[in-house]
Each structure stands twice: as C-alpha cells, then as structure tokens.
Structure 1
Amino acid sequence: MNLESLLSILLPAIVLLLVFLTKRLIFSLAVGLCLGAVFVNFHTPMQIPEYLLSKFLSVFRYVSEGEVQINWYAIHIFIFLALLGVLPQVFIHSGSINSFVKWTHSKVKDPRSSEWIIFVAGCVIFIDDQFNALTLGRSMRPLSDASGLSRERLAYIIDSTSAPVCILLPLSSWGAYIVGILNGVLPDPSKSVGILSASIGVNFYAWFALFAVFLSILWRIHLPVMRKNFNVGVDLSEIERDAQKEGSMWALILPILTLVFVTLGMIFYTGYQKVQALEFQKIVENTNISLSVLIGGICATLFALLLSSKTIKSEEYVQIFKEGIKISLPSIIILILAWAIGDVVRYDLKTGEHLSALIAGIGGENLSKALPLILFVFSIAIAFATGTSWGCFAVMIPVGITLALHSGLDLVVATSAILAGAIYGDHISPISDTTILTSAGTGCSVQSHFITQLPYASISAICAFISFGIISWSNSLLLAYAVGGILLVGIFYYLKIRYELVQNSIH
C-alpha cells in the first residue's frame, strides 16, 4: 500500500475514531476536513487555507462553462430545513396538538385502542423524529394514562414509529438531509432522489420495526422486561394542564397535507417540465427536488401560520422562529461539513477506489458481496456510540457510497444498509436525542425506555440483518422479505403463545 492509498483510508478512519471518542460530530467532521486539506496539500502547505476556503465555497457555488454559478440546490435545502424547524413550533404554540389529543380521547375504549391511535398518529405525523418524540409523547401521555397504558409502552410505540416513518416517507427533513448528502457523493446528483426513493423498498429494518409494533399491538405482546418496568400514573388532571391553549386540530392536519401534496405536485411539475412526457421514472430522475420541497415547506408554514393566527399571540412569533432556527442550525452545519469532506474523500483522496482495491485484494468477490452487512453493522456501531442517526448518515454515506461505486455494489442496497443500521443504532442508544426526548415526552426514565425497547428493536434488527445477507448473495428482494418477514412473524407468534401460557398459569 502506497502513501496515497494509506492517507485516503486514514482520513475517514480518523473521523470515525473522533466521532466515537468525542461524541461531537461537528468537531469530528471539521477536524477531518482540516486533515484532508493537509493530506491533499502535503507538499504545498501554504495552499491549505485556500484549499479549505474553496471546499466551503464549493457548497454554495460551482463553476459551469467557466462561469461561477450559485448552488441553488444547497440554498433551497438549507431554507427547507429551517422551515421544518419552525413548523413544529407553530403547532406547539397554536395549541393544535392539544386539540388533536382531545379528539383522540373520545375514541379510546381500552389500552389497545389507545395503542392503535398512538401508532397511527406516529405514522401520520412524519415531519421529524424529534418532533414526534417530544411533542407527540407529551400529547399522548394523558391518553395513555387515562387508558392504563404504561409510559414505557407509550415510549416504545412513539420511538419505533418516528425515525422509521421519517425514513420511509422522505417528504420530511430526513429526505432533504439524505438527498443533500447523496448529492455530494454521487457522480450524477440527479440520481440521488431516485436512489433514496428506491431505498425505501429495501430498508428492511424500518419496515420490520413498524411491523413489529403492529404485531405487538395486535397480539398484545408485552415482553417480561416491559412488564417489569411498568410505570403508569393515571393523572387525568394532566389533560387539563396540557390543554390550557387549544387551537384547531385542522391547523395541524391541513399544513401537513399541504406539505405532502404541494411537494408531490412540484416534483411532478418540475420533472415534467424537463422531460415533457408522462414517464414516471424519467420525471423523478429529472425533477428539481430542492425547489419542490422548498415550495412545499413554504406553503405548509404559511398555511399553518394563517390557520393559527387567532391562537398565536404577536409576541410569540419571534420565539417560534428563534426556536425553529435553533433546532435546524446544527443539521445545516453538519450538512455543509458533510458536503465539503465528501468532496475531499471522493475527488481528491479517491477513498472509494483505494478501499475497493483493498477489499478486492483481501477477500475478493465474497467480501464485496458482504458489503451491505458490513455497512449495516458499522452504521449500527456509529449511531449507537454517537447517539445520532443523522451524524451516522453524514459519516457513513460518503464513504459507503464511494466504496459501492468502485466495488460494483448496488447503490440502492448500500444506501438502505446504511440508513437501516443508523436507525437501529439510534434506537438502542441511551445517549440518542430521540431516546432522551421520547423519555422526556412520555414521562419515563431514559434507562427504562432503553431497556424495554431494546429487545423489540433487536428482533427487528436480526431479521433485517438476515434479509440484507440474503439480498447480497441472491439479489432477490422477494426472498429477502419472505425469509425476514416470516422469521419476524414466527418470533412474535412464539412470544404471543408463551405470554398466553404465562397468563393462563397465573390465573
């Protein structure tokens, strides 16, 4: 291995190590970018500052036919992320969340009914996982308490329907963020939307995690660890405390529908404008995704503000935008650094080429086929250690995709493996933002939520691991889902029978 190959592999390794040791993603990416500048300009150190500046500027502009052009894609994505930080704040300050909860109270008959309502609400409100974790957790807590549902059970359902739904419905901050990272590492950025869309069908963990929640509600599967950590306080007065400010339920529902349909409409319109033909695949490949999600975000935010104008006081608007921008800013900074370091890894150090050559030399074709499993496991480890799936995306996607490009691995499978591993790692991490926010929102301890969710999530992850292995060696999506799905159903059915036997022995 020559010096160039060593440095190309050393850079992402150092970034990963820093992420593990410091738990500070922005710091780790910034150090990695500086090291990349040193590696590239090792013989010309005086050019390092200029090189760093050029990498930052490349995020916001590019050169086309000798002329400097503004990178409107990046600008659109940054504004959209800011808007999706503001939109949940509008829902909170308007009281529309409280109205939604009050409506659901009238539909609850027993614990299972409340579980179904929480499950559906978690699937419908897909704007952001942290918004689901904190706001939905707080809103549904009186509902679960009134029906005798444990706080840990509530936390499991909400946490397991937040990130998986966000990753499967990319008309959210997640979709914009991931497409942004893909756009920085793919040879043809127009393929990023298509790859993310196609990865939805191969994201075994996300589907299995949702299916596990469905089966656990349907068959009333409460594992021993869930029964031991049963914490419920039937405090109906909390309903009144949370409902001090009550807006219209439609001020929540209609803006979300606006976001979905306006974005879909703009995706179709901008794609059709280019191809001038009603061919779905070509329309998706040629759509202006950044403009589409931006217009959808603007319309949804304006509509939410309009519908909430009677319940939001004038002095609250500054707080709404301040809190929204504060929430979005870290994601924007991470995205800027991820784009910049992805450019260094892909074009200047050519990490993908060197890693693929190394893998081919060590294990040949069989190891290359194992790449989805390797990416899945590494993503789990990074997300678990750092407590952030988004941070894992920023670190793993540039390396994983460039590696896949040079090893012949299907980009859709590689992307799905990274996304799936990151979500599971985030789910089982006790230092994860969503774990902490879900615990805070639902009113149970972080430790009890972590302990009670771990076995459910791990069953889904094991089935996903097997499915990724099958699709790696057989290239059959149907076989992968059949084996993984049957295994998941079999495990949960066994747990159902075992729980029923235990219950009968008690009675």
Structure 2
Amino acid sequence: MNMKLNDAVEEQYHNKRVFLTVVVGIAIYLAFVWLSSSRDPSESWGILSLLPTMLVLIIAIVSRRPFESMIAGCVAGLVMLNPFDLVSPFADNISAVLGNETIIWIVLVCGLMGGLIQLLEVSGCLDGFSEWLKRIIKSRRQSLLATFALGVVVFIDDYLNCLAVSTSVKKLTDTYGVSREKLAYIVDSTAAPMCVIVPISTWAVYFSGLLEENGVAADGAGMSLYISSIPFMAYAWFALLIVFLVAYGIIGDWGPMKRAEKRAKEGNPVPEDFIDEQLVSNVKAKRTLSFKANIFNFAFPMILLIVSTIYFEVDLLRGALLTCFVTVLVYWAQGILSFETQVESIFTGFKVMLYPLSTVIGGFFLKAINDELGMTMYVIDAISPHMTIIIFPAVIFAVMAFLTFATSSSWGLYVLAMPIVFPVAAALGVSTPLVIGALLSASSFGSHACFFSDSSLLAAQGAGCSPMQHAFTQFPYAMLGAVLSVATFLGLGFMMA
C-alpha cells in the first residue's frame, strides 16, 4: 500500500515538473520571439547578444545538465535571429560544427584516448599500476600530492593530462577517502595551466602560430615571443600554487567541496547521484600477468604516447593513433587480449566518451550562434574606448576570461580577439608579452572554470563525477585565482604607467 502511495506521489511530482518545464519553455520562447520582432534588423544586438549565454548558465545551474542547457541556449539564439525558421538553421549550424576540423580532431583524440584507457582497464594493467602506487603512497596527503605531481609531469596536452592522470590515480585516492570532485579539481587545475606555461605543449604551438598569423610576431619568432610572456601568465601560476596548497592541506575545503570531502571521508568517494559508467566491459584478460609485467604494460603505452606526441610536432592525434596501434600489437603478442577483444574495447572507449564529446560539440554550436549575434565583438568594442595603460591588462584578462567562460572557446575565441586587442595595446603602449600573458591567463581560466569546456568535461569524466558536480566544487578555487590575477595585472599596469 505504501509503495503504491509513494509511486502515485512520485508520478504526481513528475507530472508537475513536466508541466512547469513546458510552461517555462513556452514563456522563454515567446520572450525571445518578442525580442526578435521588436528589434530593427539594421541594428546590432548589443547587450542582448549575451542573453543566450545567460540562459545556458541559468538552466545548467538549475538542471545540472550541461549539454541540454547549451542546446536550449542555441535554440534561443536561433529564435532571436529568426523565430519562424529554426529547423534549417539548426541543421546547418550543427552540420558546420560537426564538419569543423577542430571538432573532428577532438572527437578522434578523445575517442582514441578512451579506447586506450579501456585497453589498460581490460588488460588489468591499470589495476597493476594502482597497486604499485598503493605500495609507495602511504597517506591521504601523499595521494593528493602524487596526483598533482603527475599532472605537472604530463604537460604535453590538457586532454592527455585530464584523462590519463585521473584514470591512473582514482583507485588510489578512493583508498584514502578523497572525493572524486577533489580529484577532478586537482587534475583540471594542473592541466591547462601546465600546458600554458610549458612551451612544449599543444597550447604553446597553437598560440605561437596565432601570434605570427596576426603579425604580432615575425615568421618563426612566435615561440620566442610566447616564451617571453610566460612570467606574465598570472592565472596559470596562481592556479598551480592554489592547487598545491589544497593538495598539501594548507588551503582547506570550501563550500560544495567541503560537503563532497565529508561524504568521501565517510566512505563514499563517488557522488551518490552519479551513475558511474565503467570503462571495463565484461571481457577480462586471457592471462594474468606478473606485477612487473603489469607495470611495464601500463608504463610503456603512457611513455610512448608522450614521446610520440612530441615526435609528431606536439600532435596528440598522431601520438594517440600510434600508441593504440602499438599497444594492440604488444598485448596481442603477449596473449593478454585477442585482436577482436581489443578492437571491441577501443570502440567501447569511444562510446564512453560520447557524452563529454556531445557537450563539447554543443559548446562549439553555442559559440557559432554567439558569433552570429556579435557577442564577442560587442563586449570588446564596448570596453576599448575606456582603456588606459594601467587598467588595460587587468580588464583584458577579466573580459576575455568571462567570454571564454561563457563560450568555452579557449582557443577559437582568440582568433577574433587578437586583431582588436593588440592594436589597442600598441596605441596605449602596453608591453606585448604582458598582453599575451593576460590573454593566455584568460584562456586557461576559461578552460579551467567553464563547466562545459573540453578539459573540465574530460577531467570530470576521468575522475568519475558529473560535469556540474566538478564545476560547483572547483569554482571557488578558480575564482580565487582569478581575483589574484586581476590584482596582479593591475599592479603590473601601474608599474608600466
């Protein structure tokens, strides 16, 4: 009787939620239709261009579903552009995004990385590495510092960092009662910041090329200019300092992180409402290897991945392709897994990565809509007339950090921004390395703090928590780094005046 009553109450609650969601959805649609119809087509959208992104943030906070929130924001933007023709623009935009060279690269890289992790799981080699870590790590603090140290060492690419490090240590941190949210924070806080300040990384290669394309540096001189700006990348340095202090225990747990850590210390490192999609399938290794063999079979692919990525001019896609191919051959030759099982495992790894990848695709879709509305150009044009040499670095950091956070575009956004930012900086007499430092700081903050950025999604996926659980727990620490960065850039601007 009680069970039937509970089912009836639950059904009633569900029906009310559905009704409320439909009513709110219709109201939002009508509001955006009114905005579209009341605007003069010859005028720019101005401050109204921020509305779709604001809608995304609000829905994400309420629903805790990042992909669905971004699609809602994209639809809202399309309604603003043309409220009576949504299907064709939606199809055209999503097709353009899926055909984007960067998206194809991301899908292939993340899928192959997921496949490689699946191979390590199924073969038992990941468990062997975890057992080895447990032999040398003897305390909770040491497990956190070891996670931080691995993140510092794996600096080649933030995707590699987020997935490889979190997957490698989460069984260790579970043993010492570390919440998956804290694990995701430590991994995410070392990923983009390390890639920014170490010139042998995908970030350094990309941004040095962008500096040459925009005429900021002469051909072939982009990397040297990039290196000269590393001391000014304030957010990256502060993020690394803060995460070290958190891992060491000097900075305590705040807000949602405090609740997550309390739960973990009570024996539940995985969030209760998180559905853990295990990478491991029902297929197990055909033979059990010795402890040393397990360590070798884990370490060899990881080292090969890093070395091959560097060899192929810091291209993680080529490095991941070669590593997966060689790992399949090595495991097959040792009789650990059959060729068919390994191919199946790689496809399973791809499947597990689908939700994070769909959210990244949604972020690119949202950026495309924002570009059509002119959001980025509006914000930059609005602040440019009010710049002085003292406040320029701090304001550029704050504005670009907000835009990167709002669009999750830690790379593409700067293609639009650089042609505007650097001429203004030159006119004011602001040091070019300092401007680059402010831009890269903003980029690393956005990658770190945005709940639907690629690295945040992968850190959450690898650690074993939802993107929103990761976002809420790490945001106070990211904001501390941002505030310290603004103060630093203000001080540097004052020194230059």
Indicate the TM-score class for this superposition, using the shorter chain for normalisation. 0.5 to 0.7
Distance 1:80 1:251, change over 3 A: farther
Distance 1:446 1:75, change over 3 A: closer
Q: Which amino acid aligns with 2:171?
A: P
Post-superposition shift, 1:201? 3.3
Post-superposition shift, 1:111? 0.9
Distance 1:302 1:119, change over 3 A: same
What's the CA shift string for 1:352-407, capped at 9, x where partnerless? 9xx78x877x446x2x5533222211233234334x2xx14322x12331123312
- Corresponding position of 2:411: 393
Cα pair 1:180 1:335 within 8 Å, conserved? no
1:153 aligns with 2:182: yes
- How well do the aligned residues superpose, as a CA RMSD in angstroms? 5.5
- Corresponding position of 2:437: 416
Distance 1:333 1:451 in 2: 20
Distance 1:171 1:252, change over 3 A: farther
Q: SS of 1:455's equivalent?
A: helix
1:230 aligns with 2:230: no
- Equivalenced residue count is 403
Unpaired stretches in structure 2, ≥5 consecutive residues: 1-40, 58-68, 78-91, 270-275
* TM-score normalised to structure 1 length: 0.59
Cα pair 1:122 1:158 within 8 Å, conserved? yes
Post-superposition shift, 1:318? 6.4
Within the candidate set 53, 77, 82, 2:108 is matched to 82
Post-superposition shift, 1:184? 5.4
- Corresponding position of 1:110: 139
- Corresponding position of 1:348: none
1:471 aligns with 2:492: yes
- Corresponding position of 1:91: 117
Mean Cα deviation higher: 130-139 or 329-338: 329-338
Distance 1:393 1:445, change over 3 A: closer
Post-superposition shift, 1:104? 0.8
Distance 1:242 1:105 in 2: 21
Cα pair 2:391 2:493 within 8 Å, conserved? yes
Cα pair 1:78 1:332 within 8 Å, conserved? no
Distance 1:196 1:15 in 2: 32
Within the candidate set 221, 229, 232, 1:202 is matched to 232
Post-superposition shift, 1:127? 5.5
Post-superposition shift, 1:453? 2.6
Q: Which amino acid aligns with 1:109?
A: K
Cα pair 1:380 1:421 within 8 Å, conserved? yes
Distance 1:216 1:429, change over 3 A: same
1:168 aligns with 2:185: no
Distance 1:140 1:376, change over 3 A: same
Within the candidate set 476, 482, 485, 1:455 is matched to 476
Cα pair 2:410 2:444 within 8 Å, conserved? no
Distance 1:131 1:14 in 2: 38
Q: SS of 1:154's equivalent?
A: helix
Post-superposition shift, 1:204? 1.4
Unpaired stretches in structure 1, ≥5 consecutive residues: 1-6, 33-51, 61-73, 268-288, 346-350, 477-507
Within the candidate set 397, 400, 411, 1:376 is matched to 397
Distance 1:455 1:266 in 2: 37
Post-superposition shift, 1:122? 2.5
Q: Which amino acid aligns with 2:244?
A: F
Q: SS of 1:106's equivalent?
A: helix
Post-superposition shift, 1:417? 2.0
Distance 1:177 1:330 in 2: 23
- Corresponding position of 2:7: none
Cα pair 1:91 1:252 within 8 Å, conserved? no
What's the CA shift string for 1:171-210, capped at 9, x where partnerless? 5554565556556544656444444444443221112111
- Corresponding position of 2:340: 314
Distance 1:293 1:439 in 2: 20
Distance 1:325 1:262, change over 3 A: same
Distance 1:190 1:328, change over 3 A: farther
Q: SS of 1:109's equivalent?
A: coil
Cα pair 1:380 1:426 within 8 Å, conserved? no
Distance 2:212 2:71 in 1: 20
